[in-house]
Structure 1
Amino acid sequence: MAAPRRSWAFSEPPGKRQAGTRACRSAGCCATGILLIAGAALLGGCGAGGAQEDYREYLTRLARTLSVAAVTPADPSVPALPPPRALHLDLPPGKLDALDFLAISGCAVQVTIGKRNSSLGRMARPSQRLLLDLEYLRLAPQCIAYQRRQGEQALAATLQEAWDLKRSQLPSQIFNATLGGEEYRAFWRAPLDEGDYPADTGSALLTTLEQLNAQAERWLQGDYTADNLEVELLLGQIANGDGGALLRALARQGAALAAADHILAARSERGPLCSATWRPPEVAILDNVVRRFFIGAIQPRAAALNRRYHQLLPPVTRLERLLDAALPPAYRAWRADRDELLADLVQSPRRHVQALQALQRPCAGELPAGPGH
């Protein structure tokens, strides 16, 4: 009796297609796709042991089915951010540090300069330095005009020079407080245990990233108003973000699927899975293994990771583009490594599907079944 023809193609899992499509469209992405055997319902789900157990189970059964040596996935590695010192941009203070505080009486900016020149101001975190500079940029023009009316031309010139300097330093100050600061470093820090990531992610972080981006864009366009508490709260929420979790999860998935591809390649080296006249029993077993342990367990998570990638990266890269001229060389190098790795990792499921299809292709016709059918 001839075995039924099997084919593998891309599709969303039943029950997730509509929601997944909405999520992808809202992020402007094109999902990698879900491998589905035509006419077969998905079996199983994410294993109780999480992603690691799903990968281990699939690799073990795949190697056993194809009678090749088991392959242990490589230890996943992701590019770590350079040390804080390499990312911090040192900015000259200008002449305000030496300015006589009492000479600016009658100006609201006097308080700002006093805070900036205090011992606490000199030791302030990058976000607080940014907020003080924004306050100066907002208040100084009125004081400059006042000093000129009072005939204090030298003082007005000093204040104007400081304003020009702070305006030119603003992209760098924003970088120090955001992409180069401790909150974004925490955002990119990989957790020790990914748990069921990305199941517990949502849109709140995306909104936070976009809100901070909107503030940065507004500041760069000359609107220097800022709500200090709001800015600090946004940064605190970003520190709890999942950039590092996404990188680590994609790297772990990539390593596991690369090991699976190695198993398929080892089997291919022995020749086609099917001959022109014969289909071995392992074809049906392989079909079941792929359906249960790849499609049913790994692919749903792969689709979720793909969606999260296309949701999370755009707001981050938008801020990077806004601050492009201020990015230090160390950050540029890390970003290039990050983007190259991510571009490769998100293709891992597609590469594995293609490897499965290549191995199965000789069995696509109506062939006599081998012994055991």
Structure 2
Amino acid sequence: MAIAAAPRKPRAEALQLELQNSDIGTLDFLALTGCELQITIGKRNSSLGKLAPPSQRLLLDLEFLRHAPACIAHLESKADQQELVSLLEQSQILKQQQLARQIHNATLAGPEWHQFWKPQKIPVGYPSDTTSDQVLQALDAITAMADNWLRGDYVADSQMFETHLNTLRSGDGGVILSATQTGHEFFSRWNTTLGEYTQQHACSPESRRTILETVIAKYFAGSVQQWLAPIMSRAENIQQASNQLENLLSQASSAEYNRWREQRDDYIQAMKSLTVAHVKTLKRVINPC
């Protein structure tokens, strides 16, 4: 029987949403003397700014939104700068409209999130010996930041934001997918095998049932369940924290991302269903009559 592999997340680059450019030209840039916004636009138009990763582009847009009102107010008093004022107001509105998509690009479509959910080898002792609350704290912190930004509070701790993203890079979302796939393979095969066994042995003698109960207690309850239970608990915590950010940005996310997210969550949920089915099958094996 073919076992469905864990759903692979699309490449981060493929999930980047296209944004409309609203950069100020060179001549307009020079007219911004006296505005803090001039420094922000200078950074965005520099060689490094044009090659900036999604997280830095987001931070520069937030910086623009913080400084734009004061600059607009400063220029409104100058009769010869009304065209520039209009341009800045248009840029401000555009960046506000695109902010959710920009946050999506920096987080859910960023390289850190991709690494976070990339299936990888299950470490020895996972999850108790290798997990940290820092991943969940980083997820909650990024969600809180994004929520504030979308509410119009454009203050951003750049260093802290990048630190939280880097924490996600070494997180265990991908380990959870690998562990879930291992569980899928185990339960799918054994549920089929045990189903065939119950058909071939309609009523087992008492001695055989006793042996089966001992094997189940030792290898399933005492081994498989003890390994799987904390993994599924960790998966639930990671899912809940991830879903909070994903729900916040769901309207801005691409159909491709939302499709992968649904497949990912369904795959993990199916693991729970397979576990329940396995317990029912074991009961039928022990008491087939």
Q: TM-score scaled to structure 2, two decimals?
A: 0.94
Q: Distance in 2 between matches of 1:84 and 1:212?
A: 18
Structure 1 gap segments, 5+ residues each: 1-72, 364-373
Specify which of 166, 174, 180 is matched with residue 109 of structure 2: 180
> Counterpart in 1 of 2:98?
169
> Comparing both chains, which one has the higher relative contact order based on Cα–Cα distances under 8 Å and sequence gaps of 6 or more?
1
Say if 2:266 is the partner of 1:336.
no
CA RMSD in angstroms comes to: 1.6
C-alpha deviation, 1:293, in angstroms: 0.7
Is the 1:212–1:234 contact (alpha carbons within 8 Å) kept by the matching residues of 2?
A: yes
| Counterpart-to-counterpart distance in 2, 1:357 and 1:202 | 36
Name the counterpart of 2:167. 237
Relative to the length of structure 1, the TM-score reads 0.74
1:101 deviation in Å? Answer: 1.6
Partners of 1:97 and 1:333 in 2: how far apart? 39
Secondary structure at 2:200 match in 1: coil
The superposition leaves residues 284-304 of structure 1 with CA deviations (integer Å, 9 ceiling, x where unpaired) of 111110011111111111210
Are the equivalent residues in 1 in contact too, given 2:127–2:234 (CA < 8 A)? yes
- Contact residue 194 and residue 249 of structure 1 kept, 8 A: no
Deviations 1:313-361 (A, max 9, x none): 0111111111111101211111121122111112222211111112223
Q: 1:259 to 1:178 in 2, by over 3 A?
A: same
The separation in 2 between residues aligned to 1:341 and 1:84, in whole angstroms, is: 21
Higher helix share: 2
The answer to whether the 8 A contact 1:198-1:308 is kept is: yes
Deviation of 1:249 (Å): 0.1
In structure 1, the residue matched to 2:155 is 225
Q: Give 1:135's aligned amino acid.
A: E
Q: Which amino acid aligns with 2:64?
A: Y
Show the counterpart of 2:191. 261
| Partners of 2:262 and 2:193 in 1: CA distance | 31
Runs of 4+ that moved beyond 3 A = 73-76
Cα distance in structure 2, aligned partners of 1:314 and 1:97 = 44
CA spacing shift, 1:124–1:174, aligned 2, 3 Å: same
Question: Does 2:219 match 1:307?
Answer: no
Partners of 2:71 and 2:42 in 1: how far apart? 14
Aligned letter for 2:257? Y
**C-alpha distance in 1, partners of 2:176/2:288?**
37
Q: Distance in 1 between matches of 2:23 and 2:212?
A: 74
Deviation string, structure 1 residues 115-151 (Cα, Å, up to 9, x no partner): 0111111110000000000000000000001110122
C-alpha distance in 2, partners of 1:193/1:341? 17
1:210 corresponds in structure 2 to 140
Matched, 1:91 2:25: no
Q: Does 1:360 align with 2:286?
A: yes
Task: Tell me how far apart the structure 2 counterparts of residues 225 and 273 of structure 1 sit (CA, whole Å).
Answer: 70
CA deviation after TM superposition for structure 1 residue 74, in Å:
5.8
Cα gap change, 1:97/1:127 in structure 2, threshold over 3 Å: closer, same or farther?
farther
Gaps of 5+ in 2: none
Distance 2:47 2:127 in 1: 44
- Find the counterpart in structure 2 of residue 117 from structure 1: 45
State the secondary structure of the residue aligned to 2:31.
helix
Provide the C-alpha distance between the structure 2 equivalents of 1:89 and 1:103, rounded to a whole number of angstroms.
31
SS in 2 for 1:281: helix
Partner residue in 2 for 1:127: 55
User: Distance in 1 between the 2:35 and 2:188 partners?
Assistant: 65
From 218, 230, 248, the counterpart of 1:292: 218
Q: Distance in 1 between matches of 2:23 and 2:155?
A: 23
1:80 pairs with 2:11: no
Aligned to 1:69: none
Contact 1:95 1:158 in 2 (8 A): no
SS of structure 2 residue aligned to 1:192: coil
Identity across matched positions, percent: 37
Give 1 or 2 for the bigger CA radius of gyration: 1
Q: Following TM superposition, by how much is the alpha carbon of 1:362 offset from its aligned partner in structure 2, in angstroms?
A: 3.8
Question: 5 Å matches for 1:50-65?
Answer: none
Q: Do the aligned residues in 1 keep the contact of 2:3 with 2:188 (CA within 8 Å)? A: no
